[in-house]
Structure formats: structure tokens, C-alpha cells
Amino acid sequence: MQIRLASVMVDDQDKALQFYTAVLGLVKNKDTLMGTFRWLTGSSPDGAKGVELVLEPMAFLPAQTYQKALFTAGIPATAFPTSNVNAEYGRLKALGVHFRGEPKSIGAITAVLFEDTCGNLINLVQPAA
């Protein structure tokens, strides 16, 4: 068994595509019209081959409620590992990404939360060496 897809719910697929590609640096993989929404995926040029992030349209009311509850509670929708959290934090902050604090050591990781402009918190994480 393999995990090839992970999803984040987004309030606007165009806005999400712009943020996840132009700001975070993902590469768009698939962009296929499926009814009123799109099958929209991207991947990290530095990530595992074949793994894609689905920018999932949030048209289902319970999903909207769940996303808002996570955001309000400060719970990340997902985490993105990096080998240098401080450098990535600086790069993204210079691009205007809104962080909730600064990188902080939390046991076996150093982490910091940022907002993805689409209603999600993302945890930027560097595992301890």
C-alpha cells in the first residue's frame, strides 16, 4: 500500500493554486475540470516522487465547519517537513506569508504555524537531527 495523495480543503481553488505554487513553490501536476470544480494537484520538487497535494474544493458544508473549527483552535490541517525550518521561515516571511509566531523547538521537532490564505493552518516542521 502507498500514500500518493493528501488533501487540503480550500475555499478558492484559484487562490490556493496561486499560493501553493507561487509562494510555497509546489509544481502544478493536474488541473482537470470535474463538474463545477477541478481536480487540482501539486507536488514539491524536493518531495517524494509521485506524492501529490490535492487542493480540494470546500463545497460540503460540514467540511467548511470542520476547517473553521481547526483554524480557530490553532490546529494545523497538515504539516510540511523541511531540513531547515529557520531558512524556510525567513524565505516565506519575506514573501508575505503570515506566521503565528517564530520557529520553536518542541521535543523532537522545531515547528511554526502559518496561514495558507485558504482557511488552513500549516505546520512547517524540521525533525531534530
Nearest C-alpha neighbor of 126 from the set 87, 90, 69:
87
> Which pLDDT value is given to residue 53?
97
Strand order from edge to edge, sheet including 27-34? 5-10, 52-57, 37-43, 27-34
Q: Please write the tens of the pLDDT for every residue from 36-87.
A: 899 999 999 988 899 999 999 998 899 999 999 999 999 999 999 999 999 9
**pTM higher than 0.85:** yes
